[in-house]
């Protein structure tokens, strides 16, 4: 769905607590927050300050920094590198997705969120190198005690929505421990929508921890001479059926982005 960059007829105010009508979170039957940073005005806006500073597993949004680390350590040369299908994966934890069970390029693995592919890269990177780059990048709580290869989905490794944005700002400004060449590759791979008026770079994430679904959408939107960095995280009990959970990560974010851009 193309992101709407026009003033909506009935837009929800960012001061969600003051509204009598349902908030986007309530409409989606989820809890969570949206946090946005206006680059031009240096202004932070959030629907829930406490939630914006609370950490949880980054899920597939970790692919943003994971790609940079794989590039910087030489595990892959560029986004066209092919990751060999290992022949098996855990369909219990990640669901059955036969369309991605094949040799796949890094770019396609990022776009399709092929978790198994980035797990294969993680095995080659190793924990010590991850710790080094995470510390230098000030990304997350640096707790890599989870024994599995995908510590970004399970275990104690966590990052807050605000920290997600802080990292993306540094990526945008080329203020990270990664080379300009590798940052350029990431920025190219992250493009999820591009028109004459705007460019959207983003990544979704979804994990299941302690009986809850945790969904993310993070990225930044370049529009009208400004940049809007965003991080939306939503949660719900796994026992609660919600077929719109995945799409709600985006629809909620778009509600608030639309208002900020219109103003």
Give the per-residue pLDDT at 8.
32
pLDDT tens for the 263 residues of the chain, in order: 444 443 333 333 344 444 446 799 999 999 999 999 999 999 999 999 999 999 999 999 999 999 999 999 999 999 999 999 999 887 777 888 999 999 999 999 999 999 999 999 999 999 999 999 999 999 999 999 998 889 999 999 999 999 999 999 999 999 999 999 999 999 999 999 999 999 999 999 999 999 999 999 999 999 989 999 999 999 999 999 999 999 999 999 999 999 888 77
60 is catalytic: yes
Which domains occur in the chain, in start order?
A: 25-262 (3.40.710.10)
CB 249 within 8 A of CB 232: yes
Residues 6+ apart with CB under 8 A from 250: 1, 204, 217
Among the listed residues 60, 113, 137, 202, the single catalytic one is 60
Tell me the whole-structure pTM to 2 decimals.
Answer: 0.90
Name residues whose C-beta falls within 8 Å of residue 88's C-beta, 6 or more positions apart in sequence. Answer: none
Residue 260: the pLDDT is 83
d(CA 38, CA 165): 11
List the one residue out of 226, 216, 221 whose CA is nearest residue 252: 216
Residue 21: the pLDDT is 60
Residue with tokens 């094949």: 102
What tokens does 105 get? 């390029």
Q: How far is 142 from 124, CA to CA, in rounded Å?
A: 19
pLDDT at 19: 43
d(CA 53, CA 164): 10
CB 35 within 8 A of CB 52: yes
Q: Which residue, among 16, 11, 35, 36, has the nearest Cα to 26 in the 3D structure?
A: 16
pLDDT at 90: 79
Query: Tell me, what's the pLDDT at 132?
Result: 97
């Amino acid at each position: 769905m193309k992101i709407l960059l026009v003033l909506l007829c009935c837009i929800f105010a960012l001061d969600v607590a003051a509204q009598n009508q349902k908030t986007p979170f309530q409409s989606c039957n989820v809890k969570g927050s949206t946090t946005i940073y206006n680059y031009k005005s240096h202004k932070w806006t959030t629907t829930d300050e406490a939630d914006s500073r609370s950490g949880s597993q980054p899920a597939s949004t970790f692919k943003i920094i994971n790609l940079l680390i794989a590039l910087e350590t030489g595990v892959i040369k560029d986004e066209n590198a092919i990751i060999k299908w290992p022949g098996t994966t855990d369909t219990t934890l990640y669901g059955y997705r036969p369309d991605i069970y094949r040799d796949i390029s890094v770019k396609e693995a990022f776009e399709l969120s092929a978790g198994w592919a980035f797990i294969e890269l993680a095995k080659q990177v190793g924990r010590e190198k991850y710790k080094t780059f995470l510390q230098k990048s000030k990304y997350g709580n640096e707790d890599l005690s989870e024994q599995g290869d995908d510590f970004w989905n399970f275990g104690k490794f966590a990052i807050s929505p605000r920290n997600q944005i802080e990292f993306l700002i540094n990526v945008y400004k080329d203020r990270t421990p990664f080379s300009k060449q590798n940052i350029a590759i990431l920025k190219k791979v992250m493009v999820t929508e591009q028109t004459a008026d705007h460019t959207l770079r983003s990544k979704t994430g979804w994990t299941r921890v302690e009986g809850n679904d945790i969904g993310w959408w993070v990225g930044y939107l370049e529009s009208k001479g400004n940049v809007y960095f965003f991080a939306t995280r939503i949660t719900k009990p796994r026992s609660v059926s919600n077929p719109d959970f995945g799409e709600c990560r985006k629809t909620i974010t778009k509600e608030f982005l639309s208002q900020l851009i219109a103003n």
